[in-house]
Structures are given as structure tokens and as C-alpha cells.
Amino acid sequence: MRRKVLLEHINVPDINKFDVYRSKGGYAAVEKALKTLTPEEIVEEVKKSGLRGRGGAGFPTGMKWSFLAKPEGVPRYLVCNADESEPGTFKDRFLMTKLPHLLIEGMIIGSFALGAKVSYIYVRGEMMPQIRILEKAIAEAKNAGFLGKNILGTGYDLELYVQPGGGAYICGEETALIESLEGKRGNPRIKPPFPAIAGLWGCPTVVNNVESIAAVVPIIRDGGEEYAKIGIGRSTGTKLISASGNLVKPGIYEIELGVPVEEFIYSDEYCGGIANGKRLKAVVAGGSSVPILPANLITKTINQEARLMSYESLSDGGFATGSMMGSGGFIAFDEDQCIVRNTWNFSRFYHHESCGQCSPCREGTGWMEKVLHRLEYGHGKLSDIDLLVDVSKKIEGNTICPLGDAAAWPVASAIRHFRDEFEWHVKEPRTCLERNYGLAHYADPLPKPEPALVG
């Protein structure tokens, strides 16, 4: 059984309540940080830990904190990005539900380190139960003297607020989140300036993911060097994985970074293998926005080493043979799953969630969805496959925020690894429809595609 640092007490009854959390060592890291460490020392400990952002990008957290501008007389802010809406990812919702005080403790430490007197937890608007849980936990922490004026007699003041989100996937992008927090439409900003210079209300701001902030607690409690001993190479510590799809035991798992992907899928400690005794076909390792990996690339990297659950190993070989750790949304597809159908489903999502600012994303995501719809419903042409590749190239790298890339990568990688399946949808449309939808009773002609693409 490998070590757990975030979910160590997850099975303790009522661990979401202040008194129980406190009895298990909760808020000891706050006491240590505020009473014995300076803000600079806290940032240094986070740097030593090697902690990388757990929301998707994997940028070193301590380095991000050190970039924060500190002009005299200007407020600074720490904002927690809890707008979790990546398809296949649900770890942050789990943390907020089960361990709200762990997040609050991390917010207090992070706010002190950054010199923030007011901080925010921006929670996806649909997560009303989690919003209520956090508000209750904040009230408990404040009553116990860990929030508000003169925390623990140290002279440090902090107010922490929960802000319901605007109900858009794009608000998970940090500048769109800031726009929404300011009461505007959640459209991403052009960078520079970066939030560390001009963020919330034009002031220096750090935006971190829920899991990233929660991980600060064991780092300060045990020391950055101790945390860095967990994991492998530059992928230090533990990572929460949201496992779903055709698995025997889907759910939330805390892994030590560096666990072999095969072990994660097949061991009884984790997912227990592929459901119903079927074979693995492919894996989306980090949420719907990362390239898909076929089963043959799960076992070995391009260097013929075992593929590991780490930032470096998953990306080995680039997008030709690799993927990304991303947000940790691990989706497994068995041998009966249709890659074209699943790719179309992802494209529907990204088309729907595009904010529309950038024409490559606004128009490109729509065309990818429509062409995939045409292929899926038996009206595709072989030229459509190359058209999809071309459209994805036109989107990638040409948008203000990464949503365009997130829409393009799954399509391009699915065609790269499963082109024969796309061609099969063109050559044997009736067979594909019968397999996916049971349409044996449908008479010709086949169901029509969307009118804009007829002919």
C-alpha cells in the first residue's frame, strides 16, 4: 500500500467537520506557517517540494508564487480554481465534499505566503452542495480563530469567500475565471499582462487548483524536502486520479507519481482491470483535452520503458506517441468502444463551450463537430478524415486560451492512432450504426447528417 498524504484520513467519520479534522492534526500546518515561518520561507518550502500544478498545466507552484508582483499599497489575491468541468475529472469535487478544511487550511497558508488579505474559492456554479459545505467549513474555521482578524494572535488578517461560478467550462481558464469573478462575462484575457502582475481588479493575483492548494498543507507540515521524496524525478508527490470508463473499480485514487500505468489499470489496489473481462483499447490519461493513447502505447514509451503515471513519462515522444497528465481524468475504453463516437462526443462539448472570441476556435470546433457527426452517422467521405486533421492544425496554437488546443488534440490523436476505424465508418456505415445504436431496423436511407453538411 503506497503512501497517501491528501486522503490519509478520508475514511474517518465526520472528517469534514472542524473538530474531527482538528483532532487528526488539522490546522497544525497553519500554526507552523504563521508562527514560525516567514512568507518567503513558505514559498521556498513549496519550491523545494517540486509541487506542480494539479489542474492540468503542471507548472511549478512555488515558481508561480515567486512571480507575484508586490507593489507597495496594492492588494494581492489568492484565488482557488474550483471550476472543475473537464470531462472525466471529478477529484476536486471529491476533495471539497470530503475534506473542505484541508482546502481551507491550504488557502490560509497560501494567502499568508502571498500577502493576501482577501482570498476566493471560485466553485463551479452547478456544485451547490460543495458550495454549502465550504461555506459551513469557513464559518467553523472563523469561529475557531483561523480566519478573520488577528489569526492566532499573529496580527495576520484574512477573509475567505466562496464565489459560485458562471456555469461555463471556459471559466476554468484562469483569466476567464478572473473576469467572471469581477462580474463580467467569462472570456479569457490576452496575456501579457499575466495575473501575477495584473489579475483580479488589476491587482497581483495567483490562481491555483484545489488539489494544488490542498497539497501545500502536507508540504508545510512535513517539509518540502520530505514531500519531494515521494514520486519520481521532477514528478514529485502524490496525484489524485479520477478514474472512469470501462474499469472494474472506477473512482478517486491517490497515487504516488511514478506508478506504472498498467499497474494503475490492472492492480487490485487501484482500478482492478477492465470490466467484464474485456481487453483495453485506449486510454485518455488526463481528461478529455489530452491526446488519446492506444493500448499498445500504454505498455511502453517511445524509449521502450514502462509508461508511468508521471508528467514526463506520459508525454514521452510528444503528441506522436505520448499524452499528458493533465487534470488526472483517466478514462479507459474497452475493445467494444467506438473511437469515432467518443471523439465526436468530446467535440460536441468543446464546440458548446467555446466562448467565441477567437474565430479559429469558434468556427473550427463547430466544423469538427459537424464533420465527425457526418462520419458517425454514415454520410462521411474519406476526404473528411484529412479535413479534420487540417482543421485541428488550423485551431492549434491560434487562440487566446488553450480551449482551442484542447479541442484539436483529441481529434488529431484519435485519427493518428485509429485512422482505420475512421475509414471503417466511411466504408461500412451500416455496420457502424448497428454496432453503436442498434439501427438494424432502419430502412435506407441512413439517418441524415446536419443540413449544413448535406452534399
Give pLDDT tens digits for 64-100: 999 999 999 999 999 999 999 999 999 999 999 999 9
pLDDT at 455: 38
Give yes or no for a cis peptide into 445 (omega within 30° of 0).
yes
Q: Please give the residue that has the higher pLDDT: either 9 or 448.
A: 9
Whole-angstrom Cα distance, residue 119 to residue 110? 10
- Whole-prediction pTM value? 0.93
- The string of pLDDT tens digits covering residues 331-363 is 999 999 999 999 999 999 999 999 999 999 999
- SS3 breakdown of the chain: % helix, strand, coil, rounded to 5? 45, 15, 40
Q: What is the mean pLDDT of residues 136-147?
A: 97
Match domain 339-453 to its CATH number in 1.50.40.10, 3.30.70.60, 1.20.1440.230, 3.40.190.10: 1.20.1440.230
Asked if the peptide bond before residue 192 counts as cis, ω within 30 degrees of 0, the response is yes
DSSP assignment letter at 158: B
Task: Give me the pLDDT at residue 454, please.
Answer: 41
Average of pLDDT values for 174-202? 95
| H-helix or E-strand spanning residue 398 | none
- Is the pLDDT confidence value at 322 over 90? no
Distance CA 427, CA 327 (A): 36
In our burial notation (b when 16+ CB lie closer than 10 A, e otherwise), range 439-448 reads beeeeeeeee
For the chain, the average pLDDT equals 92
Q: CA 33 to CA 142: how far, in whole Å?
A: 17
Give the pLDDT of residue 440: 57
pLDDT given for residue 419 in this prediction? 96
Residue 400 pLDDT grade (very low, low, confident, very high; cuts 50, 70, 90): very high
Give the mean model confidence (pLDDT) for residues 129-140: 98
- Distant-in-sequence, close-in-space partners of 232: CB < 8 Å, separation ≥ 6: 257, 258, 308, 310
- pLDDT of amino acid 441: 52
Structural domain spans, the chain: 18-229, 239-334, 339-453
Instruction: Give the integer Cα–Cα distance in Å for 203 and 180.
Output: 15
The SS3 assignment for 3 reads coil
Residues 6+ apart with CB under 8 A from 45: 37, 62, 219, 220, 223, 224
The per-residue pLDDT for 318 is 73
What does CATH list as the number for 18-229?
3.40.50.11540
Integer angstrom CA distances of residue 206 from 116, 135, 141, 151, 196: 10, 21, 22, 22, 6
Q: Does domain 239-334 have CATH number 3.10.20.600?
A: yes
